[in-house]
Amino acid sequence: MAGDFSGCTARKKNRAQSIEYNPVKTDGSGENSKQPTNPLTTRSGLRVYKIVILGDGGVGKSAVTLQFVSHSFLDYHDPTIEDSYQQQAVIDGEAALLDILDTAGQVEFTAMRDQYMRCGEGFIICYSVTDRHSFQEASEYRKLIARVRLTEDIPLVLVANKLDLQSQRKVSTEEGKNLAKQFGCPFYETSAALRHYIDEAFFSLVREIRRKEEQRELHAHLNGSLSNSTLAELRELKYGKESPGYTTNECFYKILKGEALTLEECFKKFQYAHDLTDRQESLERATQRVIEDFANDNVIYLELRTTPKRTAHMSKRQYLCTVLEVLKKTPVCRPSITVKLLPSIDRSKGVVEAMENVDLVIELSALFPGLIVGFDLSGNPFGTKFSDFVPALQKARGHGFRLALHCGEFEDVHEVQEMLALGVDRIGHGTFVEGENLAFANKHQIPFECCLTSNVKCKTVPSYEDHHVQKLLEMKQPVCVCTDDFGVFETSLSQELEICAKTFNLSNGAVIEMQRNAIEYSFANEEEKKDLRSKVEQLIATVNSSA
């Protein structure tokens, strides 16, 4: 194997090391690998691959990892709670930075595994050829990953370590190959002591991630996303052109004329939106128009949020069914955009309504399969305790729904800690996620939904230049730029991306990469992500060819 290492062990994400590798073999069987296509890159041009090592205690996970990053053999057993390493490499001519999390195998640390599995892009499941129990447990790790990630399509490599201890072998090569075949993944028998097939295992996983690799809007509220023209249309639908008082609302028409609005006037749009969507016909029209507006802005994936509402003309069930029926028809009416729903839990409505919403969504998810992908927690947090909503959120998660929580909208270190401990999948806004909480979010690569104009207009940040997205980008925190309420704040996703690029001097490549990565942070399933990746690359190719 051709390669060169330099530097020292990258323990706890210290200075990364570098090798170059152009192999003929990739799996120990002599078969050539499929070359990767469209690898992702960071702002600096280097793609970071989040890799998690799983397996029972004592199988040699740490020894395998240390051999890879430092060419040294760990010949003693020190039960790991968690160690992380970085290793730079060139694989098949493509630069890569492998960010490796070496996890606990001891029973007392099993509670930490779900969080590991959420943050990883690819996984190495390791067992020892001298320990049949560790081999049997490999299948359990595979099931755990699928349960946490809610998909079977996971970049994975199966590693059988301690190949040098042939006299103590309890698991045959054939058994390992058969298990890998069941997993649908590459298989390696390795020796951390002799450094056999160590690099090949890691590089093969990068290829698996690459193999399984426009705009995506992950944080948009339905009523806050009604444009001025849609509000006018809905007002006419409800009150008619000649209704008394139709032309007397000066604030309403000030909004429609696009005049500079105060924050108070911005939030009056919410009041108008709620009033104008209190019937099924108007709610259906509003949902259609919001989707059209996003599609016209070239958004190809949208996660729309709305709180189930009980009005004088609709039950909560009718409200949600009306929205879901529109989403169900979208692939035919608007094939350019994929739309999913994140029902919201409004904190100001209390815990009884929260559980009521969760139960209703669980019921409707069976009638509208694939359309409801998670829950949003939002609403006025003051006077409420997050811990009171945990049972409802845990119930939602137990039924397979992901969690996008408005987190750190005000200074409350303990509440942010509680949200992180619950296992939030994406952080909404995150303005006051700081210190140890930010370090935790960074360590576990929890994506932030950043809504620049919303935060500036709501005065949670003093200016675009002071927005926390800059710090997040500098520390390589996953970030997706969103609109929040494009109607209320008179913006669009294109405009938000432009503001971000100009304010923080981002290259076109960095903005494109940000949008590529948003696919991975979305709650779409793997088949949908595959289709979205293809659309993005086609759009990029079209733009480049016409430039």
pLDDT, averaged in runs of 10, over the chain (547 residues)? 33 42 35 35 65 92 92 66 79 85 58 64 95 96 81 85 96 96 93 94 89 58 78 83 52 55 59 85 94 89 93 94 96 92 92 96 97 93 90 96 93 94 95 95 95 87 94 95 83 91 90 89 94 84 60
pLDDT at residue number 537 = 84
Identify the helix (H) or strand (E) that includes residue 304. Answer: strand 299-306
Note whether 122 and 69 are same-domain residues: yes
pLDDT at residue number 94 = 76
pLDDT at residue number 391 = 97
Residue 8 inside a domain? The answer is no
260 conformational bin, left if phi > 0, alpha if psi -120 to 50, beta if neither: beta
Sign of CA dihedral 298, 302, 307, 311: positive
Q: For residue 125, which phi and psi values (nearest 5 degrees)?
A: -100, 120
CATH number of the domain where residue 225 is located: 3.20.20.140
Rounded to whole angstroms, the Cα distance separating 175 from 139 reads 12
E strands present in 337-401: 338-346, 374-378
Residue 9 inside a domain? The answer is no
**Last residue of one domain, picked from the residues 162, 178, 212:** 212
DSSP assignment string, 169-229: --S-HHHHHHHHHHHTS-EEE-BTTTTBSHHHHHHHHHHHHHHH--EEEEEEETGGG--HH
Residue 4 inside a domain? The answer is no
pLDDT at residue number 543 = 58
Rounded to whole angstroms, the Cα distance separating 50 from 84 reads 10
Residues near 224 by beta carbon (within 8 Å), at least 6 away in sequence: 269, 270, 273, 484, 485, 486, 487, 488, 489
**Last residue of one domain, picked from the residues 212, 246, 265:** 212
Note whether 192 and 317 are same-domain residues: no
Note whether 275 and 306 are same-domain residues: yes
Note whether 119 and 205 are same-domain residues: yes
Could you tell me the pTM of the whole model? 0.59
Note whether 376 and 398 are same-domain residues: yes
Which residue, among 65, 46, 44, 45, has the nearest Cα to 54 in the 3D structure?
A: 65
Q: What total number of domains does the chain contain?
A: 2
CB 36 within 8 A of CB 92: yes
pLDDT at residue number 218 = 62
CATH number of the domain where residue 49 is located: 3.40.50.300
Note whether 124 and 52 are same-domain residues: yes
**Last residue of one domain, picked from the residues 195, 212, 229:** 212
pLDDT at residue number 23 = 36
pLDDT at residue number 486 = 80
Burial class of residue 543, CB neighbours in 10 A (0-12, 13-18, 19+): exposed
pLDDT at residue number 232 = 82
Domain span at residue 252? 215-546
Residue 317 inside a domain? The answer is yes
Note whether 194 and 335 are same-domain residues: no
Beta bridge partners of 428: 406, 449
Note whether 179 and 136 are same-domain residues: yes
Note whether 197 and 283 are same-domain residues: no
Note whether 139 and 287 are same-domain residues: no
Q: How far, in Å, are 218, 304, 479, 482, 508 from residue 451 at the CA level?
A: 10, 15, 10, 5, 19
Rounded to whole angstroms, the Cα distance separating 73 from 76 reads 9
Note whether 456 and 314 are same-domain residues: yes
DSSP assignment string, 427-466: EEE-TT--HHHHHHHHHTT--EEE-HHHHHHTTSSS-STT
Give the residue numbers marked as catalytic.
409
Residues near 398 by beta carbon (within 8 Å), at least 6 away in sequence: none
